[in-house]
Every structure is written in structure tokens, then in C-alpha cells.
Amino acid sequence: MSKKFNSMMDDLVGTLTDPIIVYPGGWGDSLPEWLKNAITLERLTENMKTSKGEQPTGTDAEVCAYLNTATLTVPIDSDWSQIYLYVAGKTYTRWRKGEMPKDIKIDSLTEQQMADLNRLKEWLYLRRTTARQELERAERRQQKAEEVAKNKAERPALFEF
């Protein structure tokens, strides 16, 4: 099989199995189930865009999950509050089929806020793919160690002193 095909399959499997990146602080298990499902579905959509040549990135639902856990851990400034409300509104409307309350709904971001959002999406994508690669490396190391131990057990030592 070609390297490109293997990479595409790896990315597809990753959309389903990569960890959800949350802000450190212990709030990761508090994400609602609908948001976890939305992350998987948006990753699949993003994967289809990537297969057509677009640059891979994190999704709105992933940003929503990360900022949700961040706001439960540390205070965030006005710009990040606006970004969070913007992404949360888009994600909630798309997947829960509800509307954000008008008093907190954000319809647009400034150029700087949009740049910050895009940087966060890129960072989240990098973090989750790096986590997948590290897990694969650890599995290969463990498999190799098991093979060495098996070979050593199967072949008696010629000379033991």
C-alpha cells in the first residue's frame, strides 16, 4: 500500500480514536455527551476536507470543549470570552438544534480574535495527532520488547557463566 493511503487511513482512524484535548484541571470528564459526539462528527467532516487537499485543523466543537474546560479552571479575558461564546453558539446551534440566548450570542469576531481562534484550532489538531503518534510509538516499543523477551525465552543461552 502507498504511504499516502496509510496516512489517510491513519487520519480516519484518528478521527474516531484521538483523545479530546481539554484544559488541564480535571474537568475533562464533565463534557456533555452531545459535545463528544459533535467532536467526532466534525472531525469526520474535517477529514473529508483534508482528503480534498485542505489544511487539517481542529474543529469548532473541539475548541468549544477546550474552552469549556478552561473556563471552569481559570478566568479568561474578554477576547477569549467572545471567542468561546462565538464557537459555543455555532456548535450548540448546529448539534443541539437550539438557539443561544440573544444576550450572550456572538455573531462575529474581530480579525485578531479570528486569528486567535484559528491558532487554537491548529494547536488542538497538533496536540491530538501528536498524542496519537506517541501512543503508536509506545505500542511499537512494547511490542518489540515483548518480541525480544519471547526470542530470549525460546533460545537457550549457549554459554551461561
Residue 95 lies in a domain: yes
**What pLDDT score does 120 carry?**
98
Centre a 10 Å sphere on the Cβ of residue 54 and count the other Cβ atoms it contains: 10
What is this structure's pTM? Answer: 0.81
Residue 131 lies in a domain: yes
**What pLDDT score does 57 carry?**
93
Residue 159 lies in a domain: no
Residue 154 lies in a domain: no
Residue 66 lies in a domain: yes
Residue 150 lies in a domain: no
Residue 51 lies in a domain: yes
Domain that holds residue 90: 3-135
Residue 161 has pLDDT above 60, yes or no: no
* Number of domain units in the chain: 1
